[in-house]
Chain A
């Protein structure tokens, strides 16, 4: 990272006093990009409410079977 920065400095046409700002801009830009990705992923977070219903059915089925076989399914 610092090698890239130094190389940029050498060839830079930006005034000397501003060059230290470059990596800061980069970090901020990266941060914004990261937040964007997180937000995007958050919006499209896959959810499955129907699975909860299916699970409840499975639990009822399991309890019925096991109770018949003598397994204690009370909690």
Chain B
């Protein structure tokens, strides 16, 4: 279709950011052309600081110069502003509510617990490990026998919300002994299916890159 048509979209992002990756995946799934700006998080651009003065974070979406912030809000915006593209959220209000609830859960729990795991020195602290294993099992329960979290609607909002964190799974095992393949095998299989999609494989960090990144960070923090 109009692959090169300019629809006025600019994504300020850092390829490191799982939240930014969500937006890249969504834009790819919707076939939306956009200008991509890779931000140096150590030296943030004026545009970023002006667009997101409160949090000063990526991702930021600009649409004809107007700002949209927060990855899940950006995903919903893309659905609403571009109704002729592949929808990310289902149409049924209850299914939408469930997708929103679980995406919020991913933000609070997967990101929340995962970030805490980084800061743990030496041998893994048992409670954080147990918590992460529990979180993964809960998500697996929500997935059930579905191919994707989007169910009948296919790869969608919740899949996109979670998939950037799926490449952290190998690191959970390497650094903290939370083996996703053992703890939540259906979730591991789901992650593998997602990686077969070009929108995902091109935009998420590979498991190796994530491991390297975490290793570096832990060294910097004097944890290793």
Q: Do A and B truly interact?
A: no
The chain A residues found within 8 Å of chain B, CB to CB, are none
